[in-house]
Amino acid sequence: MVVWPVLDRNTTRSTVVKPRNWSEKNLGQWCRNFTVNQHTQCPQASAFHQFDCCGPHETDCCFAIQGWVIVILTILGCCSTIILVFSALLKLNLICPVAYRSPAKPAAYTGIQDPE
């Protein structure tokens, strides 16, 4: 059975200023560990990066790239590699070989002929 410590609910000693509106609110996530009584608020993330809780007590903030960014970059990298390999194979005529043809000789002009 886990016994959680009783938290002090007295907010008059808090040094954090309560925001008055949404523009003042810090939307960074909290890394909390009530066992060791450590709390850290991470900087606000964006659509491309985030902050994960890390460290020995999971109370430190570590930079991390969003999962969807990693997936998109992986797909783009794989597609680019496949395109480069196939274009090199086509250029070297190793796949879909094209038979070599000598350039066609231009037709000799014989002038206007009278119908007979």
**pLDDT tens digits, one per residue of 8-58:** 665 555 566 777 887 777 778 899 998 998 989 999 999 999 999 999 999
Residue 5: beta bridge partners? none
Residue 2 in this model has a pLDDT that exceeds 70? no
Confidence of residue 5 (pLDDT cuts 50, 70, 90): low
> What integer is the mean pLDDT of 86-93?
92
The domain locations on the chain are 26-65, 68-96
- Both tokens assigned to 54: 């890390």
